Amino acid sequence: MAFGIDPRVTEVLGLCEKAEFACAELYHHFAALFKDEREIFHLWLRTALEEENRARLFALVGKLRHDNIIASVELELAEAEQALLHIRSVLERVKEHPPTVRESLEIGIEIEVKLDRLMTQNVVIFTEESYEKSFLAIINSRHLESLREAFRELTV
């Protein structure tokens, strides 16, 4: 069966897109919380925008699925759903109980580690290596390292 017409592909990519947009919403919330702390505000804003770009990439890949560029999707639907639910629950929790800067960084790091494992490790297997390289160049941003560095600076 051609994978481009498998409804599971569409569902998984859609959930990845929603998870990335949920992360962006969380990080925009953190930026708003810390708007008076210039460096942390810019860190969260930049990270939110990177998440939006990643979400748009999943949307684009979903639209291109009919062009036979996707060989398979390795992420299980249940895993993608769980990631989205986790992010949304964290967002609800931090809206009710605003975190400190340190706690926000801990939350961001924890989410990025989980998402990195899910989203960048063979979510999409492409038919050509050039597609995969382009996808990974965008999806493998450096914001996890930026969050870790900000956390280290905060704890020194």
Tens digits of residue pLDDT in 131-149: 777 777 767 667 777 887 8
CA 11 – CA 29 distance, rounded (Å): 27
CA 73 – CA 54 distance, rounded (Å): 17
Structural domains in the chain (count): 1
State pLDDT tens for residues 81-93: 999 999 999 999 9
Residue 3 pLDDT grade (very low, low, confident, very high; cuts 50, 70, 90): very low
**The domain containing residue 101 runs over which residues?**
3-155
State pLDDT tens for residues 33-50: 999 999 999 999 999 999
State pLDDT tens for residues 48-107: 999 999 899 888 888 877 677 787 788 888 999 999 999 999 999 999 999 999 999 999
**String of b and e for 52-72 (b: at least 16 CB within 10 Å)?**
bebbebbbebbeebeeebbee
Domain CATH code at residue 74: 1.20.1260
Instruction: Give the contacts of 75 (CB within 8 A, at least 6 positions apart).
Output: 12, 16, 118, 119, 122, 123
